[in-house]
A and B are shown apart, each in its own frame.
Chain A
Amino acid sequence: KQEVTQIPAALSVPEGENLVLNCSFTDSAIYNLQWFRQDPGKGLTSLLLIQSSQREQTSGRLNASLDKSSGRSTLYIAASQPGDSATYLCASLYNFNKFYFGSGTKLNVKP
């Protein structure tokens, strides 16, 4: 069974810092890897999706990388803002229609 681990479980940083969230997965035979954001009491919002053939994806201040051989992905957030405070989840698509999720990193960006 695919297992996805996220480190750290929680992170608190001052506004303006650049930060990195980590995600590791046990089986490298994935179709893609996706990063989501979850705000309290709300569903998940897709941030970035990296296909297995890609190394990274960028959207605004966010950059996600994928290293299948080592079973790792990172989400880089540049110049963090208080509005970035949320829980960030990574999920690997290991089989058709089936995402395996990590437990998330809860980020708090202090003004």
Chain B
Amino acid sequence: ETGVTQTPRHLVMGMTNKKSLKCEQHLGHNAMYWYKQSAKKPLELMFVYSLEERVENNSVPSRFSPECPNSSHLFLHLHTLQPEDSALYLCASSQEGVGATDTQYFGPGTRLTVL
């Protein structure tokens, strides 16, 4: 596979469940990102990782927990979510690490529904 892949593509979970979103980039990039896209709202940056270190946490609630075990993989662990957390979660990567000003490459997203 090429580019940025995300699994699963669709996820339905209850408020008491624990689930994880997975992102993988096959581009040899150094930085990875999680974004949230809610209906009729702009994309919101959640987390930034550069070379497996978290460099940005954009005031995200603790029920979202990111993990970056290596430069190619990024996870978003979810627990005790709320219905308002239902959204499209997008992963992206960029060549540069910290201090990046280059473009970002996006995955197709995971459509999350919290019941």
Contact = CB atoms under 8 A, between A and B. Distances in A.
Nearest to B107: A43
A54 interface: no
Interface string A81-109: 00000000101010011111111100000
Contacts, number: 59
Nearest to A46: B103
B99 A96 contact: yes
Interface of A: 4, 31-32, 34, 36, 41-46, 49, 51, 89, 91, 93, 96-104
Contacts of B106: 36, 43-45
Contacts of B112: none
Q: Is the interface on chain B under 10, 10 to 19, 20 to 34, or 35 or more residues? A: 20 to 34
| Main DSSP-derived SS at the A contact region | strand
Contact of B104 (A42, A46, A51, A102): A46
B98 A103 contact: no
Contact of B109 (A42, A51, A97, A103): A42
Kindly list the 3 A-B residue pairs having the minimum CB-CB distance in the complex, ordered from nearest: A43-B106, A101-B43, A44-B106
A97 B54 CA distance: 12
A32 B43 CA distance: 17
A96 B6 CA distance: 24
14 contacts: A4-B42, A31-B101, A34-B103, A43-B106, A43-B107, A43-B108, A46-B104, A96-B98, A96-B100, A96-B101, A97-B48, A99-B45, A103-B40, A104-B42
